[in-house]
A = this chain, B = another copy of it.
Amino acid sequence: MGKVEVNKQQKQATLLQAAFDLFTNKGFAKTTISDIASQSGLAKGTFYLYFKDKYDLRNKLTAHKASQLFVEAHAALLRSPVDGFENQMLFIMDYIIDRLEKEPKLLAFIAKNLSWGVFRSALAQPVPEESQQFYEYYMSQMEQSNIHCREPELMLFTIVELVGSTCYNCILLKQPVSMEEYRPWLREGIHRIFMMYTQ
Contacts and interface: CB of A to CB of B under 8 A. Distances in A.
Q: How large is the interface on A (under 10, 10 to 19, 20 to 34, 35 or more residues)?
A: 20 to 34
B29 A176 contact: no
Counting chain B CB atoms within 10 Å of each CB, the highest count among A117, A165, A182, A192 belongs to: A165
Interface stretch (A58-66, A93-101, A136-144, A167-175): A167-175
Interface string A159-198: 0011011101100010111000010010011001101100
Nearest to A150: B185
Interface of A: 29, 115-117, 120, 151, 153-154, 157-158, 161-162, 164-166, 168-169, 173, 175-177, 182, 185, 188-189, 192-193, 195-196
B166 A161 contact: yes
B29 A173 contact: no
A165 B161 contact: yes
- State the oligomeric state as a number of copies: 4
Dominant secondary structure of chain A at its interface with chain B: helix
Given A158-B185, A189-B196, A153 B165 contact: no
Contacts of A185: 151, 154, 158, 196
Given A115-B168, A153-B176, A161-B169, 10 more contacts: A116-B176, A117-B175, A151-B185, A157-B166, A158-B166, A158-B185, A161-B165, A162-B165, A185-B196, A192-B195
Contact of A196 (B117, B169, B176, B188): B188
